[in-house]
Structure 1
Amino acid sequence: MDTIHHEVWINADRKSVFEAITAKDGLDAWWGRAVAAVPETGSLVEFDHGLGDLLRMRITDLVPGERVAWECISAFSDPTNPASDWLGHRLSFELRTERRDGVGRLLEPLVTGEEFTVLEFRHAGWTTDSRWYAFCNCAWGETLGGGLKNHCEAASG
């Protein structure tokens, strides 16, 4: 099985980023309409991306301020929907705080404050012949590096 992996540097505190990946309003702001999201292990996170059926994720792990993991429990029969490959996939978001003084000079322009949050994202469960692997890899990069990062940084001022 293959795993999509992205590391995103976010100029916002960890608490704000954690809320953006676990709270209904936060998820709503960067990944489409969140219908339900209660940050508790075992609860369902549901999204309405306008594709007819809801995308449902079960929270399998949650440590406040540090990480959340989901398992996709939606089965989409429409092969033109990229999430049609996701049943049983595991998505994880892990956060850590880094300091500007630990960043090399080449990367310093990416950091605006003394501390920033690093998001390690993984989307596991892909088969090597999956139709949607490459598309979702690119889409996750844009969604996390654009939508989530921009939302968190704008909210932080």
Structure 2
Amino acid sequence: MANIRHNLMINASIKEVYDAITLEDGLKGWWTNDAKAKLEIGSINHFKFGNEYFNKMKILKLGEPNLILWECVDGDREWIGTKLSFELKDKEERTFLKFSHLNWNDESDFFGFCCHHWGRYLDSLKSLCETGKGQPFMV
């Protein structure tokens, strides 16, 4: 199994970061502007990236304000069954984010591509939380 991991410090409160990851408007501000999300364990959130690419994430855990856990249940075949974890720690009015995209079958070319793009989107999350403006995928 292969895993993608990124750590970053965000100059924003843990609540601001948690809300950006869990609420539909927040997700639209840093990941993709075509997001349909519901803040409820067991719900399936849908994220579109243009006409040909999408993924559906089942919310497994909402441990406010410290942990969000999703499982990909539909989308790219290499993503199905993988889990995404967002661990948040309060660091004196800043937030330390440990992101993991876990349980890939192997380190394929697509895995490398996604590793790069996760870094980019996490920078977008940081920007959204710090400045109010992220750089999500725009449909």
* TM-score bin, normalised by smaller chain: 0.7 to 0.9
Amino acid across the alignment from 1:131: D
CA displacement at 1:132 relative to structure 2: 1.0
Aligned equivalent of 2:114: 136
| Residues in 2 aligned to 1:143 and 1:39: alpha-carbon distance in whole angstroms | 20
Q: Does 1:21 align with 2:14?
A: no
- Contact 1:9/1:117 (CA < 8 Å) preserved in 2? yes
What letter corresponds to residue 45 of structure 2 in structure 1? Answer: V
Deviations 1:90-127 (A, max 9, x none): 0010100113xxxxxxxxxxxxxxx3101110001112
Q: Is the 8 A contact 1:73 1:87 kept in 2?
A: yes
Count of residues paired in the alignment: 133
Q: Secondary structure at the match of 2:70?
A: strand
Q: CA deviation at 1:85?
A: 1.3
Q: How far, CA to CA, are the matches of 1:61 and 1:34 in structure 2?
A: 22
C-alpha displacement of 1:36: 1.7
Give the aligned residue type for 1:148.
L
Give the aligned residue type for 2:61: D
* Bigger Rg, structure 1 or 2: 1
Using structure 2 for the length normalisation, give the TM-score.
Answer: 0.88
Q: Give the gaps of 5 or more residues in structure 2.
A: 134-139
Return closer, same or farther for 1:129/1:18 CA change in 2, 3 Å cut-off.
closer
Question: CA, structure 1 residues 129+9, in 2 after alignment: closer, same or farther (shift >3 Å)?
Answer: closer
Q: CA RMSD in A?
A: 1.7
Q: Are the equivalent residues in 2 in contact too, given 1:85–1:130 (CA < 8 A)?
A: no
Check if 1:148 corresponds to 2:125: yes
More strand by percentage: 2
Divergent runs of 4+, >4 A: none
Q: Residue 135 of structure 1: CA displacement?
A: 1.3
% identity of equivalent residues: 38
Q: Is the 8 A contact 2:53 2:75 kept in 1?
A: no
